[in-house]
Every structure is written in structure tokens, then in C-alpha cells.
Amino acid sequence: MSCMELRNVSYTYPGEKMPVINNLTLQIEKGTCLAVRGDNGSGKTTLFRLLNGLAFPDTGRYMFEGTVITEKYLKNNRASKAFHKKIGYLFQNPDVMLFNGTVYDEIAFGPRQMGLPDEETDRRTRDCLQLFGIGHLAEKAPYHLSGGQKKRVALAAVMALNPDVLILDEPMAGLDAGSRAFLHDFLSQLKKAGKTLIMATHDEQLVRDLADQVLVMEMPNMEMSDTETPETV
Ligand SMILES: Nc1ncnc2c1ncn2[C@@H]1O[C@H](COP(=O)(O)OP(=O)(O)O)[C@@H](O)[C@H]1O
Ligand SMILES: [Mg+2]
């Protein structure tokens, strides 16, 4: 059984004519790394929204560990919790992920939501603060941090849940060289630890070192429109 499988999946945004995802079939085995490439506007983030159950195929099927993921299935609270506990999602723009008053609370939020005991939550939060080199920021407001610091905090918050699958939307974007090297190394270690990684990235070296599979998203047929594609989150 694959970790994730898309079968002939198509998706069109409500009110739009062109599908962003068009008849996509894809299989991701547990413990492997899929790199997703493609120009801005080619549908990488949309694909990740489908994989995270934030959007649903119009046609075709998405299966996670053998279970067909539908809107109805995720309406069930227990099913939804189990699904989201297994998948960590780093958004392209960390601003949309950060909403707590302090970095500490930001990282502790997920474990608290999952109902972990206070002690375990505190242990995980401290581990993540240390792992990502952000211990000195623990009492700061995420809102005031630099872009690279925000990304570290967002990733720490994702890792605090110890997900089996990590979906990372342009994790290297906006990071300085030191942070990129750190993240490259960190992701290699996750892969060695058996995690399944799915990442949209333009980082050639990262793709060469980690990817077992590369998916190149094609631009939807743009002939009908001459407008610039906005950056989306
Ligand atoms: N909420 C939305 N409603 C309508 N169109 C959208 C929405 N979000 C993204 N799109 C469009 O879908 C296409 C793919 O966007 P996206 O998945 O963000 O691409 P990428 O992540 O590869 O840059 C783009 O043409 C974009 O304008
Ligand atoms: Mg994107």
C-alpha cells in the first residue's frame, strides 16, 4: 500500500474554467521523497492543498494509506485528527501559519491540540526550540521575527507533532545560506529516519540529494488569459 496515491485527479477552482490539476496520477511510497517542480502558477500549492485535505478532487481519487480521502470522510472529527496528525504541512508563506502570542506557544499549540499531557508538550516544545536554534526567541512574538526566523518557527511547530509525512511548500525560499544548509541537512536526516517527504522546491542540490521522484507541474493553458499569475499561499 502506498503512502499516498492520486488516481486521475483533476481540480478546478470554483468559478474558474481551466483545471489547475488535470488528470494527475501519482504514487508516493512510504519513506520516499517526491520533489515537485514547475513555474509559479503551475499548481504546486494547489496539489499540496489536495494532499492535505484542504481541497478535494473534482474527479479522480486521492488515497492516503489506502483510505479514500473525501470531504465527507474528513468531516468525521476522529478521522480528521488522525489524518492531520500524520501529515505535517509547511505553508509557502509562514505568516499564515503563525498566530500565537509567543514562539513557545506557537510550537506548543499542535501538541496541546492533540491533547498531549503538559509535560510531554513542554518536552517536545523545548526539543524543537533547541533543534531549530530558536531557544532565544521563545518568548518573542512570531509576528515580529524575520522571514527566515518565521520559517524556522513554522517548521518547528510542524515537527512538534512528529508527523510521518512532511509536505513542504518552497521550504528554502527566503532563507539565507546558513539556514538553507541547516534545512538541507535536517531534511536528509528526516529521510534517513524513514519519513515521507514531499517538497516543492527550485533548489537543484536538494532535489539531487533527496528526491526519489520528480514531478514537473505544467502550466495550465494560459492562452485565454494574459494576466500575471499572483503568488498564492
Ligand atoms: N483560491 C484560488 N482561486 C482561483 N484560482 C487560484 C486560487 N489559488 C490559486 N489559483 C490559481 O491556480 C493556479 C495555480 O496556483 P498555485 O497552485 O498557487 O501554483 P504554484 O504553487 O505552482 O505557484 C494559478 O493560476 C493561480 O492563479
Ligand atoms: Mg506555490
For 212-229, write each residue's pLDDT tens digit. Answer: 999 999 987 655 544 555
**Topology (CATH) of 4-216:** Rossmann fold (3.40.50)
Q: Which residue has the higher pLDDT, 115 or 43?
A: 43
Does the beta carbon of 229 sit less than 6 angstroms from any atom of ligand 1?
A: yes
Full-prediction pTM beyond 0.85? yes
- Per the prediction, the chain carries an average pLDDT of 93
Q: How confident is the model at residue 129 (pLDDT cuts 50, 70, 90)?
A: very high
Compute the distance between CA of residue 109 and CA of residue 151 in angstroms, rounded to an integer: 16
Whose alpha carbon is nearest atom 4 of ligand 1? Answer: 13
> Would you state the cell numbers that stand for residue 55, as one nine-digit string?
481541497
**166 in Cβ contact with 196 (< 8 Å):** yes
Give the pLDDT confidence of 5-56 residue by residue, as tens digits. Answer: 999 999 999 999 999 999 999 999 999 999 999 999 999 999 999 999 999 9
Q: What is the pLDDT of residue 228?
A: 53
Q: Residue 226 gets which letter from DSSP? A: -
Does the beta carbon of 13 sit less than 6 angstroms from any atom of ligand 1?
A: yes
Q: State which residues have CB under 5 angstroms from ligand 2, the bound ion.
A: 44-45, 92
Q: How confident is the model at residue 183 (pLDDT cuts 50, 70, 90)?
A: very high
Q: What is the pLDDT of residue 132?
A: 93
Cα 227 to Cα 222, 223, 230, distances in angstroms: 9, 10, 9
